[in-house]
């Protein structure tokens, strides 16, 4: 274990992965409970368009991806409202459009393969000090959002109409939530990869739902599962020499199965 912790990139990765596990599973409860699991996947793939544009222009891909994903995150509810199409349809449209743009941008570049592969599947070797600072800022924003928005988001998740009747600005709150989810996804991409990031939003929260009788407890359990699976999965990936993103998700699935077993065996009142 001492040898494992002696590498800089491992130390950086442990900090970043714990924060990503915390933040993504915190927002994940809203994604799962609002039945927006496809949104995580859609936004992650939208980020691909931004990453590809960044690679093409020689600009830090994550900064371009951040702007790109936030715009897509805001456009999805706008398309839904204007066209009256279902939420998954507007996500599907933007998902495909962003991926198409990403492929188009990469086709203009000759030496894209390695970089693009890293962003698609994630790599702990790519993590540096700057990523730690960015992750800490995201963590602070998330903790702030817990105190200022959690109760409002929870209320609107339960019943939008009731929340609006109590004069909550649900539309504004939803935009804030979309932006923060987009931010979480983009910051997680380097470590986890575009292909697997949606699992971070969905699996810990889904597991927490199986053992929680209240939404607050679900939020707390989801964060615990998110952090534990991220740290344990990373350690496992080092010793078994397997990709970290995949390793973490396999641990998350393990936790999900244990929660499912507990739910059935104990007939939990949830």
Shortest distance, position 33 Cβ to another protein, whole Å: 6
Q: Which residue lies nearer to another protein by CB, 114 or 267?
A: 267
Q: Which residue lies nearer to another protein by CB, 113 or 151?
A: 151
Which residues between 187 and 226 bind another protein (CB under 8 A)? 209, 212-218
Shortest distance, position 123 Cβ to another protein, whole Å: 36
Q: Which residue lies nearer to another protein by CB, 168 or 258?
A: 168
CB atoms within 10 A of CB 137: 13
Q: Which residue lies nearer to another protein by CB, 18 or 223?
A: 223
Which residues between 97 and 136 bind another protein (CB under 8 A)? none
Which residues between 135 and 174 bind another protein (CB under 8 A)? 150-152, 154-155, 157-162, 164-168
Q: Which residue lies nearer to another protein by CB, 152 or 190?
A: 152
Shortest distance, position 171 Cβ to another protein, whole Å: 12
What torsion do the CA atoms of 215, 219, 220, 223 make, to the nearest 10 degrees?
Answer: 160
Q: Is 270 in the site for another protein (CB under 8 A)?
A: yes
Which residues between 16 and 75 bind another protein (CB under 8 A)? 33
Shortest distance, position 142 Cβ to another protein, whole Å: 17
Which residues bind to another protein, rule: CB under 8 A? 33, 150-152, 154-155, 157-162, 164-168, 209, 212-218, 269-270
């Amino acid at each position: 274990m001492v040898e494992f912790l002696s590498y800089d990139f491992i130390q950086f990765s442990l900090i970043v992965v714990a924060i990503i596990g915390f933040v993504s599973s915190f927002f994940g409860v809203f994604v799962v409970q609002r039945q927006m699991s496809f949104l995580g996947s859609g936004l992650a793939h939208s980020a691909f368009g931004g990453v590809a544009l960044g690679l093409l222009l020689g600009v830090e891909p994550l900064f371009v991806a951040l702007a790109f994903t936030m715009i897509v995150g805001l456009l999805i509810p706008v398309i839904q409202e204007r066209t009256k199409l279902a939420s998954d349809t507007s996500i599907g449209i933007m998902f495909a459009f962003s991926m198409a743009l990403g492929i188009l941008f990469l086709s203009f570049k000759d030496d894209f393969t390695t970089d693009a592969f890293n962003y698609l599947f994630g790599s702990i070797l790519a993590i540096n000090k700057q990523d730690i600072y960015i992750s800490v800022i995201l963590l602070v924003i998330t903790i702030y959002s817990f105190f200022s928005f959690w109760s409002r988001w929870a209320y609107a998740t339960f019943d939008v109409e009731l929340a609006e009747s109590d004069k909550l600005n649900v539309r504004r709150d939803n935009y804030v939530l979309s932006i923060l989810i987009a931010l979480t996804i983009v910051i997680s991409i380097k470590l986890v990869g575009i292909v697997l990031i949606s699992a971070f939003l969905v699996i810990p929260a889904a597991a927490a739902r199986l053992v929680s009788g209240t939404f607050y407890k679900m939020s707390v359990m989801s964060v615990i599962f998110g952090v534990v699976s991220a740290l344990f999965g990373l350690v496992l990936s080092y010793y078994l020499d397997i990709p970290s993103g995949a390793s973490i998700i396999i641990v998350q699935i393990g936790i999900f199965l244990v929660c499912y077993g507990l739910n059935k065996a104990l007939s939990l009142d949830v």
